[in-house]
Amino acid sequence: MRNFMKWDIIKTFSGRNRHCFTCQDVIRAYPDEKSIYLSRLLSDMVKQGMLYKVSRVIYHIVPIHADPKSYVPDRHQMAKYLMHQKEYYIGY
């Protein structure tokens, strides 16, 4: 059941074209599951290389073709998730 949930989480968010999400997003998407179970599941997914932990609360889906040990998401695309819906710009 656990592996099914892991792939279902990936399918749910990538199907919405959201490559980043928070633990709260997962809890809202799966209201029938206990929050502690979901947070442990996300932690397992990070250890298995399915997710990349961007910050304490933000997770990024690692593409299947990428090497999880060396994969780092594009920093410019991460900005909108790190800014939590605030206006921002990226300078060089």
DSSP string, 55-66: SSSEEEEPPTTS
User: What is the structure's pLDDT at 6?
Assistant: 92
Is pLDDT at 51 greater than 90 in this prediction? Answer: yes
Sheet holding 51-53, edge to edge: 20-22, 58-61, 51-53
pLDDT digits (tens, 9 = 90+) for 66-89: 898 888 887 767 777 776 667 766
Instruction: From 71, 59, 80, 56, select the one nearest 14 (Cα to Cα).
Output: 59
Q: What predicted TM-score, i.e. pTM, was given to this entire model?
A: 0.81
